[in-house]
A and B are shown apart, each in its own frame.
Chain A
Amino acid sequence: MPGKLKVKIVAGRHLPVMDRASDLTDAFVEVKFGNTTFKTDVYHKSLNPQWNSEWFKFEVDDEDLQDEPLQITVLDHDTYSANDAIGKVYIDIDPLLYSEAATVISGWFPIYDTIHGIRGEINVVVKVDLFNDLNRFRQSSCGVKFFCTTSIPKCYRAVIIHGFVEELVVNEDPEYQWIDRIRTPRASNEARQRLISLMSGELQRKIGLKVLEMRGNAVVGYLQCFDLEGESGLVVRAIGTACTLDKLSSTAAFLPACNSPSKEMKEIPFNEDPNPNTHSSGPSTPLKNQTYSFSPSKSYSRQSSSSDTDLSLTPKTGMGSGSAGKEGGPFKALLRQQTQSALEQREFPFFTLTAFPPGFLVHVGGVVSARSVKLLDRIHNPDEPETRDAWWAEIRQEIKSHAKALGCHAVVGYSESTSICEEVCILSASGTAAVLNPRFLQDGTVEGCLEQRQEENLPPGCGFCHIPYDELNMPFPAHLTYCYSCRKQKVPDVLFTTIDLPTDATVVGKGCLIQARLCRLKKKAQAEANATAISNLLPFMEYEVHTQLMNKLKLKGMNALFGLRIQITVGENMLMGLASATGVYLTALPTPGGIQIAGKTPNDGSYEQHISHMQKKINDTIAKNKELYEINPPEIPEEIIGSPIPEPRQRSRLLRSQSESSDEVIELDLSHGKKDAFVLEIDDTDAMEDVHSLLTDVPPPSGFYSCNTEIMPGINNWTSEIQMFTSVRVSRLSNINLTNQTLNKNFNDLCENLLKSLYFKLRSMIPCCLCHVNFTVSLPEDELIQITVTAVAITFDKHQAVQTTKTHVEKSLQRASADNEELLQFPLELCTDSLASHPFSPAKEHLESASSNSGIPAAQRDRCNSWIELIKLKAQTIRRGSIKTTVSVEKASPLTEGHFRQRSAPACANSTVGVVKMTPLSFIPGAKITKYLGIINMFFIRETTSLREEGGVSGFLHAFIAEVFAMVRAHVAALGGNAVVSYIMKQCVFMENPNKNQAQCLINVSGDAVIFVRESELEIISAQQPIASCQPACSGGEIAT
């Protein structure tokens, strides 16, 4: 019996009236975990019942603790008929299962009903007592920490970054079971919510097991998604990066996990998966074979895949066969060998991280992506995960081979996604091929690495731009020059990546959001014909998207894209492509050439005139953009750069399909006289459209910037105001005779108008930047396009521009010295980095914002707590699970007494609700994250049969999203947190049937619950006694009436 779960139901408030006669409710609560259920007494005739129940105790396996959610149901007692359900609360108790996270869940939770939405709140206290488990063959993985954040979390240090972990579980979708015909929508929705919650728990546990087997203690960049396949099932899948993390403290903490000899680690099989097929494709299997001959059913012909390394865009051929052994200089060879040995043992050397410890990322090759079209109704054994596992394994193999072709052994910024329409499913994976520094990948190599680092001795900020592949045997035609920073290594003319801009990268000016948008009509078709049609379209779409991105990048006068995310969505009669990235000007790369327009019929006078007019417009736009984004790189005389590099195949990378219907792709040799120019050939109206669409993108109004990465390149003086939001638009395509052009225009307008609306709505925050702008497109029905955007607006101080060059120099100096000393310094530097990015923010402003923030108590609470954490870490090496030590320390310490008083204060005081911040970023400007409380992963369904009465589709979805935010905030607050970082709305599936007055929506969100403390407060605190300073902060939440 490894664990005891204890639950106490305290009270309810704002309950709905369930008895029309008395206008009151006779409420009681059912508490269910696994198969055990407890009930409270009925609290008669009240909308604010005070149950004050005893502690309900569940004695359970820790395996169940991980899988099962705690289910709390509030009901109205009825003497004569069945009791009516008011609503439910699902509580994920996972955060209580590791020692560094929350110790208690306590607070007001919204009572949620899938038909009525939030109906009052309930106050619940949950605790877990864990006992040591000596069973070696246990199935649980309690203690492995999970983070959505795609970088090393702020208060941790990465000891080892082990690598890729993935898992997938399948179940029958309750909505498609026979029983669904006879049960109520509520019962069906609840069955689904519960199932997904269970599956998420199981998935997390299984991933945790893999991490433990790799001798890791955490998963970073954890991304969990679900696929609603329909008839064939419901899939929950997750990927992440296994790490050994070390909590940052002034003393070197000692963890048993990192003490294991590296030899042992190598001997451990990659995992002992309950589903052996997950890893059926060993690295020795011939790659080509693996990708193409695999067929789960008799569906070989339908299987097709389109994939590219983004730089080449040569459809498929030759890409996958790229063999290793393109060693460049001796240094590269050495590095490659080392990295190779570190990565060899891994089946997939993938990392879901997008930002890295300094020195981790050595070179970046470019974007690699793979897509594959599958038919869901042909899955042999739909209830088993084998088929899907094999599908993903196949795609990952492809990605791996693409990376190899780019001379890289690893893929960073890796992500996977699906798009499903009826029985067709497009699987996509993408990442950035990279060469990594092996010192983080395993133990025992530390010394060797250090020497190597010194030898490397590259000037800061440009190393990652240097090509990892061999210039004489390039995998694709590229235009190479000597690096504009160090002038020693070669760099490409443009660089596309899926990662965040490295912190040490030097850029000129500011960045901006760049989007490529594309629609392609497709005939409605069935099964194989449909799949074939889609696979045929995919390469064209990828190519078009890439061309658009390239053109728009040049139009902005920039030379690199970060955070690139290409989403291809499949609908009944069309495919949509949406690519978002953040464009920047990297000083290491050459100045981009302009865009030249060439006409096809040179003798026509008026045509010529038109062309030159367009050319002028384009040139003007480039000039304007350069001014807008402050792109004025220092002029570098030609001779310093050196003689032009002999280019084996110098030509522009422009490929253009002759016509829509033809499959044939012809490479056009467009090496005109002018060296850098990117030439757009206007040969038909189609091309004309393209040029026009380039120019229709309106820059954001002055005072606004936008990007889809964590931080905006070129802005570093953030102030503390943040506003996270989600905006959804569904548009109906009205005309029947749709063409690709009108469709493109509609889609383009939809996106542009949405952005304009955002700028208008947030105008009071100017000067501000929209960060982490995340667009998702879906096609819920024939003529409907749905766009969902989540982003955060952050204010910055216009007048206090931090001198970027200076800080960069300082940073690099700092880093250099750190490298020469010892490894321990690097984590310290990591944490100072976040402080250093706003060193000049005025303290006064922070104070003002702090005083208006009633979330302070939580933060201060934690300060006390982290003291204890420190003591604990010093005192012993606890493997999580041993509660006795934790408890004894807390009891002994006078600090904790205060800590508990603080915690209960807000609930009793009955004052205003504490503020919980939400952000898709991994940090909070002007604040320091002091503690990670656990992962938030929530799934909700909302349905209505009175759509008109709820304000139509907009009213319905607006209320639902607001409720989802509220439930996330309530859970974070109950964990003792005051913010959720790395927040993401992974799915927002909306279906409507206005004729029946019905609508349904499914939302899946996740993030990391944290406690943050304002930097200004930190300073104040350090000057005062910790306890004394806690007192005034408590009254900060009172409202002034």
Chain B
Amino acid sequence: MTNELDIFVGNTTLIDEDVYRLWLDGYSVSDAVGLRVRSGILEQTGATAGVLQSDTMDHYRTFHMLERLLHTPPKLLHQLVFQIPPSRQALLIERYYAFDEAFVREVLGKKLSKGTKKDLDDISTKTGVTLKSCRRQFDNFKRVFKVVEEMRGSLAGNIQQHFLLSDRLARDYAAVVFFANNRFETGKKKLQYLTFGDLAFCAELMIQNWTPGAVDSQVDDMDVDLDKEFLQDLKELKVLVADKDLLDLHKSLVCTALRGKLSVFPEMEANFKFIEPCRSDRWPLNDVRLFLNQYSASVHSLDGFRHQALWDRYMVTLRSCLLRMYHD
């Protein structure tokens, strides 16, 4: 005797958080049942494997029906078919849009196109995240990107408004969109050690300071693109490196100020221009901070340098980013 049809419909839609997680993680029904059995649920509840199978199927069916609504979260709030308490709605949305660290590091900065989607197979193998879950996460990125791409106003704010995400998650998505739009290659070997958190931190600062929105809150694409004028202006700063006199003067100013305070002074003198090598030389974080502070401050004492405001816009953000990125 087999059950051809087996359903359970509650006036309040039942959401099992554990099964939801398994579904989001892309497990098949039978894998999910296996995992649930291993969690010891049968012993705890005295249920049979058949009951567990039926329950899992039922939850999966519900999630499948909810998925369409989860693609446009405001619809989930206004629809009439599933009666779900607000706190549960928020949980459903938040979890659906959550993503794996391993996955996001693979995709961050890549174009959210069909081409990338084809690579999901490899990403799945590499990261151990199931292909199904990879697809969901990728589609989430793409969907959010498409909706907010051309929108006015704060990037994170738009995402929060249209996808009803938590503050934290909305800011993470802002970073994803920012990187995807600007195609910052984050997959380079040198950058491998950086976490998504590091990159999101940088993205947030860049959005705050380096986009058109930082200057004018009424322009299109204000938070998505980097401020072109600003990028143009940055060329002016090259003078600090290109002009030998200026460079030497800057160097001596910094060195004088820091002599005796840094434990790695000789190295600093040698590697003045490049911060990255600091890591290989194992500078303590505090030394890096001192150096950067001095490095940015000293410019103000350079008489021949005219772009003080530009320098600050550039350096304040850069300094914070560098400090954040400065770890093992």
Contacts and interface: CB of A to CB of B under 8 A. Distances in A.
Interface stretch (B7-15, B142-150, B173-181, B206-214): B7-15
B33 interface: no
Given A963-B81, A969-B80, A1039-B86, A729 B11 contact: no
Given A756-B48, A1039-B90, A727 B14 contact: no
B85 interface: yes
A918 B12 CA distance: 9
A108 B4 CA distance: 35
A574 interface: no
A970 B80 contact: yes
A490 B47 CA distance: 45
A951 B61 contact: yes
Given A731-B2, A757-B54, A957 B48 contact: no
Nearest to A118: B81
B14 A966 contact: no
B6 to A, nearest CB: 5
B50 interface: yes
Given A14-B78, A761-B55, A1039-B90, A916 B5 contact: no
Given A959-B65, A1041-B90, A916 B83 contact: yes
Contacts of A961: 7, 9
Nearest to B53: A757
A118 B1 contact: no
Contact of B1 (A723, A749, A970, A1039): A749
A725 interface: yes
A966 B13 CA distance: 11
A910 B74 CA distance: 11
A1041 B160 contact: yes
A746 B46 contact: no
A1039 to B, nearest CB: 4
Contact of B2 (A732, A915, A918): A732
Contacts of B48: 753, 756
Interface residues of B, number: 46
Contacts of A13: 78
Contacts of A55: none
A26 to B, nearest CB: 22
A1039 B166 CA distance: 12
A958 B13 CA distance: 12
Nearest to A758: B8
A730 interface: yes
Contacts of B125: none
Nearest to A913: B80
B256 interface: no
A757 B14 CA distance: 13
A1040 interface: yes
A121 B77 CA distance: 14
A852 B80 contact: no
Interface string B186-217: 00000000000000000000000000000000
A953 interface: yes
Interface in A757-803: 757-761, 763, 784, 786
A283 interface: no
Interface centre among A110, A701, A731, A760 (most CB of B within 10 A): A760
Interface string A932-960: 00000000000000000001011101110
A966 B83 CA distance: 8
A1041 to B, nearest CB: 5
Interface centre among A110, A727, A731, A1041 (most CB of B within 10 A): A1041
Interface in A709-728: 723-728
Interface in B55-78: 55, 57-58, 61-62, 64-65, 75, 77-78
A529 interface: no
Nearest to A961: B9
Contacts of A763: 45
A732 B2 CA distance: 6
Interface in B25-57: 45-48, 50-52, 54-55, 57
B45 A1041 contact: no
B51 A756 contact: yes
Contact of A965 (B4, B9, B46): B9
A489 B192 CA distance: 89
B14 A110 contact: no
A992 B5 CA distance: 11
Contacts of A917: 11
B280 interface: no
B80 to A, nearest CB: 4
B14 A761 contact: yes
A1041 B168 CA distance: 11
Given A760-B47, A958-B65, A1040-B87, A731 B55 contact: no
A962 interface: yes
A444 B18 CA distance: 65
A951 B64 contact: yes
Nearest to A766: B45
Contacts of B57: 954
B45 A760 contact: yes
Contacts of A750: 1
Nearest to B165: A1041
Contacts of A758: 8
Contacts of A753: 48, 50-51
B3 A756 contact: no
B127 interface: no
Nearest to B59: A761
Contacts of A701: 45-46
A1018 interface: no
A268 interface: no
B164 to A, nearest CB: 5
Contact of A958 (B7, B14, B77): B7
A757 B78 contact: no
A731 B4 contact: yes
A652 to B, nearest CB: 35
Contacts of B77: 911-913, 1039
B4 A953 contact: yes
A726 B4 contact: no
A848 to B, nearest CB: 12
Contact of A757 (B2, B8, B61, B64): B8
B283 interface: no
A583 B166 CA distance: 50
Contacts of A121: 80
A725 B10 contact: yes
A757 B80 contact: no
Interface in A694-744: 701, 723-734
B55 A757 contact: yes
B296 interface: no
A725 B5 contact: no
B113 interface: no
Nearest to A698: B46
A118 B9 contact: no
Interface centre among B11, B75, B81, B90 (most CB of A within 10 A): B11
Nearest to B160: A1041
Given A760-B51, A961-B7, A733 B1 contact: yes
A965 B83 contact: yes
A916 B12 CA distance: 9
B79 interface: yes
B312 to A, nearest CB: 36
A732 B1 contact: yes
B82 interface: yes
Contact of B12 (A118, A723, A757, A910): A723
Given A760-B47, A1040-B86, 15 more contacts: A14-B78, A121-B80, A728-B7, A730-B5, A756-B47, A760-B55, A761-B58, A854-B86, A916-B83, A953-B4, A955-B64, A962-B81, A969-B11, A1040-B90, A1041-B166
What 6 pairs across the A-B complex have the smallest Cβ distances? Answer: A730-B5, A1039-B86, A725-B10, A724-B11, A961-B9, A958-B7
5 contacts: A725-B10, A958-B7, A958-B65, A969-B11, A992-B4
Interface of B: 1-14, 45-48, 50-52, 54-55, 57-58, 61-62, 64-65, 75, 77-83, 85-87, 89-90, 160, 164-166
